[in-house]
Amino acid sequence: MMDIHKILQKLPHRYPFLLVDRVLEVEKNVRIRALKNVTINEPFFQGHFPNRPVMPGVLMLEALAQTAALLAFETQGEGVDENSVYYFVGIDGARFKRPVEPGDQLFLDVQMDRNKGGIYKFNAQALVGEELAVSAQLMCTVRKVS
């Protein structure tokens, strides 16, 4: 388990772009389960959509990517530093099945498919309760820059 303080040590994201509130479970090299509490106070709800607020799909994918980054950093045994950058390099098969609204808890489940040559491939899905909201395959890499 990882609380918000540990997440902030691992990820460079900050408000309003940090989209993971808590890690519930993690198995290095295997899987991670995290949580995003979706509240009406999120800045994107002001314009998406004012009469029927829903979480943008790209932000659901970003929440999954941040969760995948936490798994990658846990697997490597490292956190973020000024020389580490985590890049999205691909999204395949993204499917949106259910709108996510204020008050929902978005459970972020990510499984590592492979790690080859510094490129990670993940199978990811986000659920509200037992209902699938989005699923996708994500590819990411961690690079040291100077």
What residues are labeled active site?
A: 48
Q: Torsions phi, psi of 52, nearest 5?
A: -155, 80
Sheet holding 84-96, edge to edge: 22-27, 31-37, 105-116, 119-128, 131-144, 84-96
Four-point Cα dihedral 94, 95, 98, 102, nearest 10: 10
Identity of the residue numbered 90? G
**Residues 18, 142, 126: CA angle, nearest 5 degrees:** 45
Asked if residue 102 lies in contact with residue 45, where contact means CB atoms within 8 angstroms, the answer is yes
